Structure 1
Amino acid sequence: MKLKEYGVATLEDFVGKELGVTEWVEIDQSRIDAFAACTGDHQWIHVDVERARRESPFGGTIAHGYLLLSLLASHSIEVGLIPPDAQAGLNYGLDKVRFLSPVKAGARVRSRIVLASVERKGNGSVVLKSDISLQIEGQHTPALAAQTLAMLVK
């Protein structure tokens, strides 16, 4: 989604406003398994489908919290957090993350992104803080809530 009139010079006009909502993304078992392979986190609740079906309080496998958190970068790009006239935008970190609800394998998630603040630095760079809620389709409680930081560099 591209926001009309959203640019480096007008960032402050968008503080407190929703920048957009992403498309739904399915968190299937193959994505969970690939994340486990990349990170080495093979905890059974994520990758052992049969055991999770038998023993998990969720009735099956669930996504890694950090898998879900990693989606926020691409979701921020999808909604256009980095203005089109910025030279570059970099991940600058997180101020707060809370994992609120598990995401079962096969569920779909999407992000709702609000520009929380803009901090202009003396060197021409800008720090954008976003409030992001990763929603689970059909559920009231989001999977996670995070405050992310992006640095626009000159």
Structure 2
Amino acid sequence: MSLTIGSLPELQQYETQELGTSAWHTITQEQINHFAAATLDFQWIHLDADRAAAESPFGGTIAHGYLTVALLPYLWNQIVTIENLKMQVNYEIEALRFNKAVLVNSEVRLKARLLSVKDLRGIAKARIEVTLEINGSRKPAYTGIITFLYHFQ
């Protein structure tokens, strides 16, 4: 169940707190193929299952790192629902570190902690520490800090 926030003061109440985790999401080969087509990144480690099984250190195809990053808004919206918005803007990604490849058919989920909220003349600048966990792995796929700008009504 996601947390619902409807204003800048409500968002500020959660500053420095862990906000929760998303549901598990399975990274399929079909999703990897679609991402490759959308981004024109056709490297064999993502698309050629036979070659990846034989030649890659991962033993199979892996998700594009940027595919896992592109899932951030989808997974974030499972943790927090922001209401009364005119607009939300992806503002910044800091200190993003890819720690472990995500193998095809792996389940991933997002864990998030609200680091800070600044009031920029009525616009909320929210910095969120994110960890993309891989089911069954002690090492996360990535860690970093994302920043959203929330323009409340």
Q: How do 1:93-112 residues align onto structure 2 when only pairs under 5 Å count? A: 93-112=92-111
Given that 1:62 and 1:104 are in contact with CA atoms closer than 8 Å, whether structure 2 keeps it comes out as: yes
Percentage of pairs with the same residue: 35
Given that 1:8 and 1:85 are in contact with CA atoms closer than 8 Å, whether structure 2 keeps it comes out as: no
Larger displacement relative to structure 2 (12-21 or 52-61): 12-21
* Alignment match, 1:17: 17
Given that 1:22 and 1:78 are in contact with CA atoms closer than 8 Å, whether structure 2 keeps it comes out as: yes
Given that 1:15 and 1:115 are in contact with CA atoms closer than 8 Å, whether structure 2 keeps it comes out as: yes
* Unpaired stretches in structure 1, ≥5 consecutive residues: none
TM-score, with normalisation over the residues of structure 1?
Answer: 0.92
**CA–CA separation in structure 2 for the residues paired with 1:135 and 1:25:** 10
* Unpaired stretches in structure 2, ≥5 consecutive residues: none
- How many aligned residue pairs are there? 152
Shift of 1:74: 1.1
**CA–CA separation in structure 2 for the residues paired with 1:144 and 1:76:** 15
Q: How do 1:2-151 residues align onto structure 2 when only pairs under 5 Å count? A: 2-3=2-3, 7-80=7-80, 83-122=82-121, 124-151=122-149
**CA–CA separation in structure 2 for the residues paired with 1:104 and 1:37:** 18
Shift of 1:20: 1.8
Shift of 1:73: 1.2
TM-score, with normalisation over the residues of structure 2?
Answer: 0.92
Structure with the larger strand share: 2
**CA–CA separation in structure 2 for the residues paired with 1:126 and 1:117:** 10
Aligned residue for 1:14, secondary structure, equals coil
Instruction: Pick closer, same or farther for the CA change 1:117–1:149 going to 2, 3 Å.
Output: same
Cα deviation digits, residues 19-73 of structure 1 (max 9, x gap) = 1211111011111111101111011111111000000111111110000000011
RMSD of aligned C-alpha atoms?
1.6
Instruction: Pick closer, same or farther for the CA change 1:21–1:6 going to 2, 3 Å.
Output: farther
Given that 2:46 and 2:63 are in contact with CA atoms closer than 8 Å, whether structure 1 keeps it comes out as: yes
